Amino acid sequence: MPVTLRLRRIGRRKRPVWAVVAADNRRARDGRYIEDLGRYYPLEQPSRTELDEERVMHWLEQGAQPSDTVRSMLSKRGLMLAMDLRRQGKDPDEIREAVAEHREKHGEGDEDVALTAADRRQQALEAERERVAELEAEEERRRKEEEERKRREAEEEAAAEAAEDEEAAADEESAEAADEEAEAAAAEAQETDDEQSAEATDADEAEASAADTDASEDPDADDSTDENADAEEDEEEEA
């Protein structure tokens, strides 16, 4: 399996911290890795690197290839020099002296202490806690946004229902007013018809009464009528 020594980001947003890991070079940069070898803090002044040097040397001896950035870090700390001297079969004391001289020349003193396994576990735990806190904060933000969206939808729905109720009430009032107007018009028309019928009846009665009055006031007219009728009967008998 081809192994590479490379950086893997584990820091917070805008606060990057990089883990130095041994990983299968076929996997994604921030994917699974084989072993955690240290940390790189680029934002500190000056930038700081913590490495488990023994494990780094182990992987280099196994043929692991560092990325360009990791190679630069290892070269600055003298680990690439140590690896070359080991391959040349140099004595360990000679290698340590050469590495110390190299670090002094490049400003890498004893303050850059090797990272222990316990330190790596603690830092990994802290990084995981930070990641969980960020996820929880993001989930809380989404929950509040969802609640706010549902609240707005409920208010809009209630407003729409209220508007529909008001419109229905207005339509009902309009219908009732129209029915009342129609009833009033029908009642008025009926009253007019009744008045006209009453007037016609009164007129007929007045005419009949006037005729009776005329007949009672002219009795000679009736006698003349009777005489004419008798004369007509006599003429018929003679004939």
What number is the average pLDDT over the span 170-190? 83
| Residue 104 pLDDT > 50 | yes
All structural domains of the chain, each given as residue ranges with its CATH number in brackets, are 3-115 (3.30.1320.10)
What number is the average pLDDT over the span 209-232? 61
Q: What share of the chain is helix, strand, coil (3-state, %, to 5)?
A: 70, 10, 20
pLDDT band at 189 (very low <50, low <70, confident <90, very high): confident
Instruction: Give residue 112's pLDDT.
Output: 42
Instruction: Give residue 146's pLDDT.
Output: 92
Read off the pLDDT of residues 11-54 as tens digits, 9 standing for 90 and up: 777 788 888 998 987 776 667 889 999 998 888 877 788 888 89
Instruction: Give residue 145's pLDDT.
Output: 92
Instruction: Give residue 140's pLDDT.
Output: 92
Q: From its phi and psi, is residue 45 left (phi > 0), alpha (psi between -120 and 50) or beta?
A: beta
**Per-residue CA distances from 112 to 26, 39, 50, 92 (Å):** 31, 11, 7, 21
Instruction: Please report where in the chains the tokens 């396994």 appear, as a residue.
Output: 117
Q: Please provide residue 235's backbone torsions phi and psi, each rounded to the nearest 5 degrees.
A: -65, -35
**Per-residue CA distances from 200 to 196, 197, 207 (Å):** 6, 5, 11
- Report d(CA 177, CA 161) in Å as an integer: 24
| Residue 201 pLDDT > 60 | yes
Instruction: Give residue 144's pLDDT.
Output: 92
Read off the pLDDT of residues 139-177 as tens digits, 9 standing for 90 and up: 899 999 999 999 999 999 888 888 888 888 888 888 888
| Residue 113 pLDDT > 60 | no
Q: Which range among 5-19, 59-73, 118-132, 177-191 has the greatest average pLDDT? A: 59-73
Read off the pLDDT of residues 66-96 as tens digits, 9 standing for 90 and up: 998 888 888 888 888 888 888 888 888 888 8
Take residue 80 and report the two structure tokens written for it: 């690439």
What number is the average pLDDT over the span 109-133? 63
Distant-in-sequence, close-in-space partners of 15: CB < 8 Å, separation ≥ 6 = 43
Instruction: Please report where in the chains the tokens 């950035």 appear, as a residue.
Output: 69
